[in-house]
Amino acid sequence: MNPAVTIKYAHENLFECLKHKPIWEDGSGLSRYNLFTPRTVLEILNRVEVLISDQEKLRGFFPTGGLSGTFKSAYELDGGQAFVRAKTGTLRNMHLQSRWIDTRKGKTYRFVFMNNNFVRPTAEVRKEMVRIMTVIHENF
């Protein structure tokens, strides 16, 4: 897959309706040259949700807190149920989680949680993100 062709295709066919257009320079995923804001990430994820109408299939594409991927050991299950399905991205001094959180009250929220320019170890930042997401799950 050619990154330049893929980026051009995405800009012309997937991102054309975004209010907050990304600056996407290379195909390496997270990169110092790519500039995506939390709002841009949320718009892209919402666009993916429109393009893939089968929501259960779409949810299966994302790591699940307490069950799979990068979130397998980060989140604990709540009564045997996962409550976060998301993707992560990490660079030095930058960490992001984004997608869905389900609450005990039966609501599902989309989220983008981006941390930039922190000086603490990434593991500490991740742990605090899990703590905050767990509070949201339990109280909203």
The arithmetic mean of pLDDT across residues 67-83, rounded, is: 92
Query: Model confidence over 55-67: pLDDT tens digits?
Result: 889 888 899 999 9
Question: How far is the C-alpha of 52 from the C-alpha of 15, rounded, in Å?
Answer: 15
The number of residues in the chain equals 140
Query: Model confidence over 104-134: pLDDT tens digits?
Result: 999 999 999 999 888 889 889 999 999 999 9
Q: Which domains does the chain have, with CATH numbers?
A: 3-139 (3.40.710.10)
Looking at residue 2, its amino acid is N
Strand partners, 91: 94
